[in-house]
A and B are shown apart, each in its own frame.
Chain A
């Protein structure tokens, strides 16, 4: 960290924590089979950001985050409503909210930019992410939210495990599906709205999906998967942000994504859980064993 400015260190810390929170929530999202919901909701957050700005008149992060949260929550509710009350399926509902909300956001953004006489007012950073444009107070907000998310995930660990694995049974035991779903959506929205400043609306979902999927290849335990997702997410955050500082004006979002993807490929190939290399090695050794079984005539090991 030597050679990095004081501000840069703060930025690095925040992307680390953001990455950890995103990895954790992303792990929950994966087992809820809702990986792309984050894509839809992060796009849906855009109009809220703009409106937040319009209400206050200057770029004030807490207001914009609040706006983003409201907008994303509204999007989530509408998706549920569409899916629940018509024959339009969830993927189409997600696509509708994603594009209509985002389009509305662009509509508002252009409107605002033209009003302000062409000034960009930093709103554009929400599209691709620019962690470097964050100031220290921004970092505090992000860290607080991310920590809250991590605490909820850890404290209710066995409840999450139960709810994700067998929601019907969980409900029977008294663990309300509705409540868990609501908490999950709130966590998701919070991570998204604090994350979009660093990673941008379009690539936020990458941070929520990729580290969690990578973790799958290293472990067969849900607890470890959560921990590894967090670690991989944080790692991607740091590596990506550092890489983006190498060039002038490079957006952080894509580099964080690239870091996450690279690690995913590594996990895919070499992960002991279900990695390709390991699977091939196992198949190879099984084949050898089978050959030796045929030779010796002993089939004890293979009787189920």
Chain B
């Protein structure tokens, strides 16, 4: 595959995976949690490096999952102590992120990590870092990791589809039915962490947030059916990735930034023009009039 082809493939995989996870983020109102985790995985990566002295993919994934779970646990703990949910998230993620940055900036253990790279990604390096696989031959490591993560996400989503649905919509009911709500929560946080890290190399931390939240939010404006939302979100993710790449090519600028920008464009289209929930459609539709049957049964 050509150089450009690899980049587009990587970007599409990011869009696809993030788009899928994003649907649950939106429905479970955990968008800011995703923001938090995408920052704290930096610490996870740094610690993993300090411990293993290797920057390999698997170690990063483990470090990331650990960081993501730690974030979720700490947020829950602080919230249980009486601090508002949003404030708890803010405290935990800025603290962990600051520690991560300090570790890197003070070059503790001589980390060769480039913080800016982690934040902003450098997808142009992707095709060069390759690994050898049986059958497939030499492919970029990032593509391998992303495909792996995508498979995991698909399995997790498909396998527990009913459980995701009910724990997102009505956790109290789910708990009363014996579904392990807390386990699902932490499983989900783990999936978010893994997706974040896999996408880092390509788009960096901040843009992962864009890919996680915005396509799913756009899909939310086009449909009422969960399965359609998943599909649309994935499609929008891929669309934004490709669109972003070409914008960056045209302007000769950061690919990841452009992709984030592209997610915004896709969202804007839905925000304005969606026939069901778009702004224009709403302003044309009159307020529903039920004035002829004035009574309401208690």
Interface residues, chain A, CB within 8 Å of chain B? 30, 33-36, 38-39, 43, 82, 85-89, 91-96, 98-111, 114, 124, 127-128, 202-203, 205-206, 209-210, 212-213, 216, 247, 249-251, 253-255, 257-258, 261, 264, 268, 274, 276
Which residues of chain B have C-beta atoms less than 8 A from A108's C-beta? 253, 257
Which residues of chain B have C-beta atoms less than 8 A from A36's C-beta? 32, 35, 86, 89-90
| Interface residue range, chain B | 35 or more
Complex formed: what's the CA distance from A261 to B92 in Å? 9
Q: Nearest CB to that of B278 among chain A residues?
A: A86
Most chain B CB neighbours (cut-off 10 Å) among A34, A35, A94, A109: A35
Q: What 10 A-B pairs are tightest by C-beta distance, nearest first?
A: A103-B260, A106-B257, A206-B94, A107-B257, A99-B210, A100-B264, A95-B31, A110-B254, A257-B98, A254-B98
Q: How many residue pairs, one in A and one in B, have C-beta atoms under 8 Å apart?
A: 200
Which residues of chain A have C-beta atoms less than 8 A from B206's C-beta? 43, 99, 102-103, 106
Query: A169: shortest Cβ distance to chain B, in Å?
Result: 21
Can you give 30 A-B contacts (C-beta < 8 A)? A30-B87, A86-B278, A92-B31, A92-B213, A95-B31, A95-B32, A95-B34, A95-B35, A98-B209, A99-B209, A99-B263, A103-B259, A106-B120, A107-B247, A108-B253, A109-B257, A111-B251, A111-B253, A127-B119, A206-B94, A209-B94, A210-B95, A251-B105, A253-B98, A253-B101, A254-B97, A254-B101, A254-B102, A257-B94, A257-B98
Q: Nearest CB to that of B106 among chain A residues?
A: A247
Most chain B CB neighbours (cut-off 10 Å) among A85, A88, A213: A88
User: 0/1 per residue, B236-269, Cβ < 8 Å to A?
Assistant: 0000000000011001111011111101100100
Complex formed: what's the CA distance from A268 to B95 in Å? 15
Query: B46: shortest Cβ distance to chain A, in Å?
Result: 12
Q: Is the CB of B214 within 8 A of A100?
A: yes
Which residues of chain B have C-beta atoms less than 8 A from A104's C-beta? 257, 260-261, 264
Which residues of chain A have C-beta atoms less than 8 A from B53's C-beta? none
Interface residues, chain B, CB within 8 Å of chain A? 25-26, 29-32, 34-35, 39, 81-84, 86-87, 89-91, 94-95, 97-99, 101-102, 105-106, 115-116, 119-120, 206-207, 209-210, 212-214, 216-217, 220-221, 247-248, 251-254, 256-261, 263-264, 267, 271, 277-279, 282
